[in-house]
Amino acid sequence: MKRLTLLLASLLLASVLSPAAAKDQLHLYNWNNYIAPETVKRFEDFCKCEVVQTYYSDNEELLAKLAAGARGYDILVPTSNVIQPLIKGGQLKPIDKAQLPNLKNIDPAYLNTPFDPGNKYSVPYAMSLTVIGYNDQKIKELGLPTDTWAVVFEPKYLEKIKGRVTVLDSSSELFAAALKYLGLSANDVDEAHWKQAADLIKKAKPYWAAFNASSYIKELTVGNIWLVHGYSNDIFQANLDAQAAKRPFHILHGLPKEGAVLAVDNMVIHKDAPRPDLAHKFMNFMLEGKNSAELTNLIGSGNPNMEALQYIKPDIRKNPAIFPDKAMTSKLEQLKDLTTAQRRVRNRMWTEIKAGR
């Protein structure tokens, strides 16, 4: 017993004395794989500080943690529809534009949004579209269209790919796609329209393999799943993986002509940030074209930074799912947040869909 205690005590001691630099630290709370490692290293050299990263995989997780009172983070990277609740909830610190000379690099089309007029709190970071991803070999064999949401919702197409389709496990994304297909706005809040969308979803559900927001990339890469409702950078990733594994097919983006959801992720500063000075330095650094481009080159995310365009790889630059043309851009919509009452109705409908009613 004594020796066991000794062992444990020495272990604890060793762990406490292990390397823990108390240098200047910037706490970055971000999506995983949403910043290139080279960029982080370069920033650390530039500011002579250490970047401590923690991750979340869902905006809602971020909101829940902050709402319950967690602090210690400097920079957060939420999506635009979540910025409004954060601002109204008093969770953010206003930015000092004087410290951000590189802000001029951002395409004005992405500034001054309804979520944050005047960009008092946020600065655009990267974007993605929610589109269709498909296995080009299989889908061409079956002769299915890839430029319309019909291939996700219409039984006449679905029966050819039964059990080989996944959709996102997000009520807002799926309802948005259904609403767009029905010719309505993704932000429509009419309950009757929601009912129509829900019926459309229920009709198509028996043909879907799963509601999946996480492993569909892998399933696409491996060839188990042939068509997905997914995020453009995930689909880009699946293609990279498929090529690296020398698969005989490509994973391509399908841009639905009815329109799609655009998600813009922004850098914001938490109200209790321990180092707002470092946070501003980081923001300005990421607003530089070269640094911003690194992320796009890494994961195929859209980029609102005009100065970055010259550093982006040509094949990514030409991809219409990553840099949509004017016609497509007019059909894109950013999701707006719902009120509590609306969220409750939506959740009941979603649960009914999931319960098989």
Partner 1 sequence: MPGTSFHSAMTSRSSERFGKWLVSAPPLVYLLFFFAIPSLIMVLASFRTPGEFGGLSPLIEDGKPDLNLDSYVRFFTESVYAQIFVKSVWYALLTTLFCLLLAYPLAALIARSPKKYRDLLLLLVILPFWSNFLIRIYAWMIILGPNAAMARAVNGVLSWFGHEPVALLFSSFAVLVCLVYVHLPFMVLPLYANLEKHDQALLDAAQDLGANGWQRFWRITFPLSLPGVYAGAALVFIPALGIFAIPDILGGPEDSLIGNVIKQQFLETRDWPFGSVLSIVLTVAALVLAGLAAWVGRSQLGTRSSGALSRA
Partner 2 sequence: MRRRPVALWAAAAAGYAFLYVPLIIALVTSLVSTVLGTMAGVAMYRYKTRLLPILVLTPIAIPEILMGVSLLIFFVLLNFTLGLASVALAHIAFCIGFVAIVVRARLAGMDESLTEAARDCGATPWQAFRHVTLPLIMPGVIAGALMAFTLSIDDFVITFFTAGAGTVTLPLQIYSMIKIAVTPEVNAVSTLLMLLTLALIVIASKLTPSLLRSD
Quick note: the x/- pattern for partner 2 over 199-238, rule CB under 8 A, is --------------xxx-xx--x------------x--x-
29 lies in the binding site for partner 2 (CB under 8 A): yes
Q: In the structure encoding, which two tokens stand for residue 119, read together?
A: 């960009």
Side chain identity at residue 226, one-letter code: W
**Which of partner 1, partner 2, none sits in contact with 309, Cβ below 5 to 8 A by type?**
none
245 lies in the binding site for partner 2 (CB under 8 A): no
**Which of partner 1, partner 2, none sits in contact with 171, Cβ below 5 to 8 A by type?**
partner 1
Q: Which is nearer to partner 2, 195 or 218 (CB)?
A: 218
142 lies in the binding site for partner 1 (CB under 8 A): no
Q: Which is nearer to partner 1, 169 or 333 (CB)?
A: 169
Distance of CA 7 to the CA centre of its chain: 45
Euclidean distance between CA atoms 237 and 148, whole angstroms: 22
**Which of partner 2, partner 1, none sits in contact with 356, Cβ below 5 to 8 A by type?**
partner 1
Neighbours of 339 (CB within 10 A): 9
Question: What single string gives the DSSP state of each residue in 35-80?
Answer: S-HHHHHHHHHHHT-EEEEEEES-HHHHHHHHHTT----SEE--BH
Best CA proximity match to 269, nearest among 256, 260, 261, 278: 278
Give exposure, 70-88, as e/b (b: 16+ Cβ within 10 Å). Answer: eeebbbbbbbbbbbebbbe
Quick note: the x/- pattern for partner 1 over 93-112, rule CB under 8 A, is --------------------
Euclidean distance between CA atoms 178 and 153, whole angstroms: 8
268 lies in the binding site for partner 2 (CB under 8 A): no
**Which of partner 2, partner 1, none sits in contact with 55, Cβ below 5 to 8 A by type?**
partner 2
Q: From the CB of 165, what's the least distance to partner 2, in Å? A: 18
57 lies in the binding site for partner 1 (CB under 8 A): no
User: Is the distance from CB of 120 to CB of 259 less than 8 angstroms?
Assistant: no
Euclidean distance between CA atoms 107 and 289, whole angstroms: 12
3-state secondary structure of 161: helix
Q: What is the chain's alpha carbon radius of gyration, rounded to the nearest angstrom?
A: 22
Residues within the interface to partner 2 (CB under 8 A): 1, 3-4, 7-8, 11-12, 15, 18-20, 25, 27, 29, 31-33, 35-37, 40, 51-57, 61, 64-65, 68-73, 213-215, 217-218, 221, 234, 237, 240-241, 244, 298-299
Residues within the interface to partner 1 (CB under 8 A): 58, 60-61, 63-64, 66-68, 84-86, 88-89, 163, 169-172, 205-206, 208-212, 214-215, 218-219, 222-224, 339-340, 343-344, 346-348, 350-352, 354-357
